[in-house]
Structure 1
Amino acid sequence: MPFGLVSAWNKRRRSKSHDHSDPWIYKPAEFWQLEERTSQPAKRHHGSSVFTLKEMEEATCSFSDDNYIGKGGFGKVYKGTLRTGEVVAIKKMELPPFKEAEGEREFRVEVDILSRLDHPNLVSLIGYCADGKHRFLVYEYLRNGNLQDHLNGIGESKMEWPLRLKVALGAARGLAYLHSSSSVGIPIVHRDFKSTNVLLNNNFEAKISDFGLAKLMPEGQETYVTARVLGTFGYFDPEYTSVRHILNDRKKLRKVIDPEMSRSSYALESIAMFANLASRCVRTESSERPSMTECVKELQMIIYTNSKASGIGINSFKIV
């Protein structure tokens, strides 16, 4: 399946975060341990630009309401235009005093991890600003917002089944890359993966964002278990983990299908295959859950099955 390339990084960088002698540059303990274990330190595929507070103010017209995009756990997000003319998304950290230490940690972890990653299904970090107490993260601008808004009908486009499968596959590829050792030499677990952290570009290619809670996994593992509860809780009915009843009853299967999707856009067989995969992903025993690499392969098969049965390919479906 074709995937859009990550937006180009800012080529004319004022200064890069390659200089490890810079006292501000933060490295989580796991990265120090990684570099001690390996003969070569983890390479940064792209340097991150370092911006000043003045540049952030200029880019957003002093954080004008006209440039306001939304608000998250970290703070407000604004649309901005850099001096080079590049349009970006600027995340401004705004936390109460009792959360500042936690926010600083998440800020630094995100800068350090995203500066080392290079994958079309991960959001691109263009740079950051650490000017006094001011903290900003500068990302590529993704005009189609996040997945949750589109699923809830807030987005401008209707998400038919082939498009949803395309987004699911892109997100799975991004997670598979993180869970492999090809990212920074050791697997990374996101720990806050949810629909609001899946952003969409012009072509509805999925881009995983928000790496503030990310953590390195033990070597040789594609699954990770921790006793510490982090991230965002979701809800699922326990009955959905026993999905056989749904899969074996076409009437029940139709009840879980989003009525906003056109009947001609999906084949029931592909819906059943997807439900089966989803049910295995939330099983209690980690040994029973598929790896993200396995999820990618299954999603490719589901897409093929749906296109063959419904006659609608992933790239031929019109976004409305």
Structure 2
Amino acid sequence: MPPNNHTYYDHMHSTTNILPLNPIVIVIVSVVSLVLILSVFLIIVMLRRLKSVGKRGSCKESGGGIQNTSCIGFNSSPDVKANCLYGGSMRKPATSRHRGVQVFTYRELELATDNFSEANVIGNGGSSVVYKGVLVDGTVAAVKRLHRDRKHGERAFRMEVDLLSRLNSPYLVELFGYCADQHHRLLIFEFMPNGTLQQHLHHPGSEYRPLDWGSRLRIALDCARALEFLHEHATPTVIHRDFKCTNVLLGQHLRAKVSDFGLATMGSDKINGQISTRVPRSTGFIAPEYASTGRLTTKSDVYSYGVVLLQLLTGRVPVDTKRPPGEHVLVSWALPRLTNRDKVEEMVDPAIQGQYSKKDLIQVAAIAAMCVQPEADYRPLMVDVVQSLIPIVKNFNSVNSPGFSRFNRRSTSPKYQQYVGKLQS
């Protein structure tokens, strides 16, 4: 039976309308699928890259303590987790000012110091011995060997490596490298040929001559700049906590640099603006509020600086029980005399032999008086101390030059002017 022409025609017409749409659908589906595949691929690549960066950048102390911005690797120390100073992933040490912080083996340092010969000892403290050494490239260095049985030795070692590997200031001693080989803990510093301020002030002899007035002024300014850097420019703020004459090293031309950051504390540890810490055993240079409560701020460093400034001025040690009653503690003896012009001159170290300007002496006495105030709030900031010392040092250096009058002695502190006024009246 022949097909119904009308039905057959309708079928053909319907087929003709549908068939041309199939290639378009296929193309659209293909393009969408390709875009989705590429998107998924790009997302996977980006996630892997972010994960890799996150691993390299994370280096934290176990227990949620200090975050270390420069993860220092320990190649041979079995008691440091994951070959990193504070745990986490291994990362290249932060670059120092000149050569970068290097990792030394114990054998290298044995060779550098002639097997830690007694003849090479240049310093001996309660927690370490310092040796003069010659590195393999001929560089003369100071090798600080920490005692193994010190309870706080590991913390001090880590703090010095962490801080000095990333702090950049010409007023801080430079860290060349460190050794954490098995149980050995050593630090390698730049060699300072003129010893410590302690040796010059309190142990002068054939090796160290007494400091003249100009050298004392420059040393005072260098130390003030060092503490100003730690308090104002380091991130986070660093409180040295152990600033004293034995930790002031003298280089060429008696330029001073601050050393020994084993007891330093970073501002990230602050509790309500203060820090709760273990008080050092040394006495005489510690701020009263720090000694009594164990809490400190940057003003605690200011007090310690004031004690060192008094030592530069008088040549006396912070505590001397051999002196007459009333003169045992330097600050207690000096503070009431710092605002009396005649008594200030009597306080001056005889080793200076009167070779100083009385006006400069009055300025320095006023600064010292402010720094050793019993109440922390009355002490200046180190930035103010620096600004007070700069014109005094410039005045000394150019007192015979025609441009002398252009230096304006001033201080940002009204209390400073008050002390100067008392002394000049």
Q: Same fold (TM over 0.5)?
A: yes
CA shift for structure 1 position 232: 2.3
1:62 to 94, 112, 115: 115
Verify: 1:53 aligned to 2:106, yes or no: yes
CA contact (8 A) 1:111 1:128 kept: yes
Q: Which has the higher contact order (CA 8 A, sep 6+)?
A: 1
Of stretches 288-297 and 254-263 in structure 1, the one that deviates more from structure 2 is 254-263
Q: 2:243 aligns with which of 173, 190, 193?
A: 193
Which one of 54, 77, 87 corresponds to residue 130 of structure 2?
77
2:190 is matched by which residue type in structure 1? E
1:177 and 2:260 correspond: no
Deviations 1:252-282, CA, capped at 9 Å, x for gaps: 222111111132x311111111111111101
Task: Tell me which residue corresponds to 2:179.
Answer: 129
Distance in 2 between the 1:271 and 1:224 partners?
Answer: 34
* Matches of 2:215 and 2:394, distance apart in 1: 13
2:256 to 206, 216, 220: 206
Residue 28 of structure 1 contacts residue 109 of structure 1 at CA under 8 Å; is this kept in 2? no
Structure 1's 287 and 177: CA in aligned 2 closer, same or farther, altered over 3 A?
Answer: same
Alignment partner, residue 84 of structure 2: none
Q: Is the 8 A contact 1:187 1:219 kept in 2?
A: no
Aligned residues of 1:169 and 1:296 also touching (Cα < 8 A)? yes
Aligned-residue Cα RMSD (Å) equals 3.2
> What does residue 297 of structure 1 align with?
387
Task: Give the residue type in structure 2 aligned to 1:288.
Answer: Y
Would you say the 8 A contact 2:129–2:146 is kept in 1?
Answer: yes
Q: Which amino acid aligns with 1:191?
A: R
CA–CA separation in structure 2 for the residues paired with 1:225 and 1:305: 38
Describe the SS at the equivalent of 1:171. helix
Q: Provide, for residues 88-134 of structure 1, a one-character-per-residue CA deviation record: whole Å limited to 9, x for no partner.
A: 00011124x3x3x3111101111111101111110000000011111
Shift of 1:32: 4.9
Residue matched to 2:293: none
Counterpart among 347, 358, 361 of residue 271 in structure 1: 361
Q: CA deviation at 1:68?
A: 1.5
Q: Are 1:114 and 1:124, in contact at CA under 8 Å, matched by a contact in 2?
A: yes
Q: TM-score, normalised by structure 1?
A: 0.77
Cα 1:157–1:200 change in 2 (3 A) is: same
- In 2, are the aligned partners of 1:122 and 1:208 still within 8 Å (CA)? yes
> How much does 1:296 deviate?
0.6
Question: Following the alignment from structure 2 to structure 1, what is the Cα–Cα distance between the partners of residues 171 and 135?
Answer: 23
Higher helix share: 2
Aligned residue for 2:188, secondary structure, equals strand
Number of matched residues? 276
Q: Check 1:211–1:271 CA distance in 2 against 1; reply closer, same or farther (3 A cut).
A: same
Q: Are 1:240 and 2:334 counterparts? A: yes
The answer to whether the 8 Å contact 1:267/1:310 transfers is: no
**Counterpart AA for 2:168:** D
Given that residues 50 and 128 in structure 1 are in contact (C-alpha distance below 8 angstroms), is that contact kept between their aligned partners in structure 2?
A: yes
Shift in alpha-carbon separation, 1:220–1:214, aligned structure 2, 3 A: closer
Matching of residues 29-40 of structure 1 within 5 Å: 29-32=65-68
The runs of at least 4 aligned residues of structure 1 exceeding 3 Å deviation read 19-23, 25-28, 32-35, 218-221, 223-228, 246-249, 304-311
Unaligned 5+ runs, structure 1: 1-18, 36-42, 314-320
- The answer for unaligned runs of 5 or more in structure 2 is 1-55, 72-92, 285-317, 319-329, 404-425
Task: Give 1:259's aligned residue.
Answer: 350
- Distance between the aligned counterparts of 1:201 and 1:28, measured in 2? 39
Larger Rg: 1 or 2?
A: 2
Partner of 1:286: 376
Q: CA 1:259 to 1:281, structure 2 compared with 1: closer, same or farther past 3 Å?
A: same
Asked if 2 retains the 8 angstrom alpha-carbon contact of 1:80 and 1:88, the reply is yes
